[in-house]
Amino acid sequence: MNLAEKLISSHLTDGEMRPGEEIGLRVDQALIQDATGTMVMLELEALGLDRVRTEVAAQYVDHNLLQSDERNMADHLFLRSACRRYGIWYSPPGNGVSHPTHMQHFGVPGRTLAGADSHTCAAGSLGMLAIGVGGLEVAMAMAGQPLYVTMPRIWGIRLAGALPGWVSAKDVILELLRRHGVSGGVHKIIEYHGPGLDALSAMDRHVIANMGAELGATTSVFPSDERVLEFLYAQGRAGDHVELAADPDAGYDLRDEIDLSAVEPLIARPGSPGNVVPVRQVAGEPVHQVVVGSSANPGLRDFAVVAEMLRGRQVHPQVSLEINPTSRQVLADLVKTGALTALIESGARIHQTGCLGCIGMGQAPAVGRNSLRTFPRNFPGRSGTHDDSVWLCSPETAAAAALTGAITDPRDLDLALPEVRQPRIASAITTPLQKPLPIAEARQVALVKADSIGSLPELDPLPDSLTLPVLLKVGDDVSTDEILPAGARALPYRSNIAALADFAFGQLDETYPQRARAAGPHTIVGGRNYGQGSSREHAAIVPRHLGLRVVIAKSFARIHWQNLANFGVLALEFADEADYDRIAQGDELRLNGLRKAVETGNEIDAGGVILRHRLSARQRAMVLAGGWIPEVRHAGDR
């Protein structure tokens, strides 16, 4: 077997490993962050959970760190109280971005990890089967239920050679995005193998695995080898290492190969992580902001190479260089190695550890001014600026722009190749992590809920007949950032669905919330890959709260498709994609016999437009009930 098959088979609880079939997986670890965590905690409360049943569950506060009013700290107090109540590790504000911090403290080869964040797949760098899903699925996993996914095809990517100077791991994943686009990994697990792995550290692999989410992949998997052992040794956890790899004669459903020695500096143009071109093709474009640090480039090396390129030099006067350390450990090691001093002396601005600009929490660029970022995503408006111009690149390319004030291929700088030395043993920063309480003490903890924290909406069953106006028609690759943004304006309301509803589809049509409230039950029509990007289930809950009952699209992104089912929204696909052009915004669709069609898998005729669903029997039950929580309650009543 290949490695992905080994990891799946060792955790399989339901189904068979045939591509396209639904399977259930035993979950060893769970990860949540604050932008999704408040909903998860409310869901645990609604489920009546007494204690989490995964080996490890950890809550990270890394997204909303701007305490612009009382709501932010109120959410943090609620999250901490819920962690104490349910037996979850709590990582407080400023402790670090969830993915690298979890990797440092809890990542174990061979384990499964379900995370309420689409970039959970980064842990595949350690030989874990790490899958980003909606918050409700993580809540169910913490309650001891299997994680259900559609069995993917395994895409083997052989790596050969070694990266040349001025090229790093970010350029590798950008090369894959250049080849295959943002939907090239849908319904696939990407498994990396081959001799080129020897020169990629565990954190290099983290960069590549993290942005597998931008390809739409279910997850990415690397073997657990000497590079992983080196990482765990540096964390003082060498005993957690297990050697894992594909069998020598393993087969793959699909194959690709990257000669690392042929990779060049690449950059994603504004608007999509898949719009990738060589840096030299766009060299000379003026730059006014550079931001370094995110879950996509979180390692010490990613900051240190920037520090070495800037050492003894000054940032270009028109550029604001922002440095976002990704964990306390990385920050401590930047101090110990002198890299932080070099950054400060160059004119860089040093921010707290966290996601910050990556989720639109501050660091919004000026309109019409280019911002180069070592981030995973550049969907329109995600930065917090409606008409933004955000490019994605490696730390080397980012530093080159910071020095020159323009997009510059780092190979064209008059600089010696920087030497980056990293400590063999990382700084031990463990005190901010708060351990779960003993169960008897935990049962005495009351949840701390401020008035700003709302409740889950009541979800009614799917009617048999619906007459639905088409309130929105959108194109291909609509992201969850466009459906329900995060950012500094919206994220403070993440615990209050009714208030958050004012921001729904604001990037595409600011009138949608008002029109939805007036219309009641309605539908939305989309193109291919509808709902790509973040795992945030708010993008399903909020439109459902506003009356969304059916989404019709050419195809759906994996996580959002499941989130719609979780909250009772019926996801339908065109039997003939050409019928997309037959429906216009403002049309009214009559859907009859819905319940039987969902139960039996029959097609639905919407005025001559034939629609289908791909729901499993489990998903059908939850859609009919109005959502997963109502279905669980209904099952308990039977």
pLDDT per residue over 583-628, tens digit each?
999 999 999 999 999 999 889 999 899 999 999 999 999 999 999 9
Beta sheet of 371-373, edge-to-edge order:
276-278, 266-268, 390-393, 371-373, 289-292, 320-323, 349-350
Q: Which CATH architecture has domain 466-637?
A: Alpha-Beta Barrel (3.20)
- Residue 347 Cα distances to 289, 402, 404, 417, 484, angstroms: 13, 10, 14, 21, 35
Pairing label, strands 522-526, 466-473: parallel
Say whether pLDDT at 431 is over 70. no
Q: Hey, where are the domains in the chain?
A: 3-262, 266-412, 466-637
Among residues 272, 478, 479, 265, the alpha carbon closest in space to that of 391 is found at 272
Residues 34-44, mean pLDDT to the nearest whole number: 94
| Common-topology check for domains 3-262 and 266-412 | yes
Residues 447, 487: Cα–Cα separation, whole Å: 26
- Residue 21 Cα distances to 8, 9, 149, angstroms: 13, 14, 8
Q: Hey, what CATH topology would domain 3-262 get?
A: Aconitase; domain 3 (3.30.499)
Residue 457 CB-density burial (10 A; 0-12 exposed, 13-18 middle, 19+ buried): middle
125 contacts 222 by C-beta, under 8 angstroms: yes
Alpha helices in 211-353 (DSSP H): 226-234, 300-310, 328-337, 339-346
**Gap between the terminal Cα atoms of the chain:** 42
| pLDDT at site 452 | 87
| pLDDT at site 429 | 74
- pLDDT-derived band at 202 (thresholds 50, 70, 90) equals very high
Among residues 130, 173, 431, 411, the alpha carbon closest in space to that of 297 is found at 173
| pLDDT at site 68 | 83
| % residues pLDDT > 70 (the chain) | 99
Pairing label, strands 147-150, 129-132: unpaired
Residues 187, 104: Cα–Cα separation, whole Å: 28
pLDDT (tens digit, 9 = 90+) per residue, 209-262?
999 999 999 999 999 999 999 999 999 999 999 999 999 999 999 999 999 999
610 contacts 575 by C-beta, under 8 angstroms: yes
402 contacts 289 by C-beta, under 8 angstroms: no
Residues 502, 500: Cα–Cα separation, whole Å: 5
Residues 482, 447: Cα–Cα separation, whole Å: 32
315 contacts 424 by C-beta, under 8 angstroms: no
Structure tokens at 462: 């799917």
Q: Hey, what CATH topology would domain 266-412 get?
A: Aconitase; domain 3 (3.30.499)
Residues 426, 432: Cα–Cα separation, whole Å: 16
190 contacts 220 by C-beta, under 8 angstroms: yes
Say whether pLDDT at 638 is over 60. no
For the four alpha carbons of 146, 91, 77 and 297, in that order, the dihedral sign comes to: negative
137 contacts 236 by C-beta, under 8 angstroms: no
Residues 633, 239: Cα–Cα separation, whole Å: 42
pLDDT (tens digit, 9 = 90+) per residue, 454-465?
888 889 999 999
Residues 246, 289: Cα–Cα separation, whole Å: 43
Residues 307-311, mean pLDDT to the nearest whole number: 98
- Residue 203 Cα distances to 296, 401, 519, angstroms: 10, 23, 49
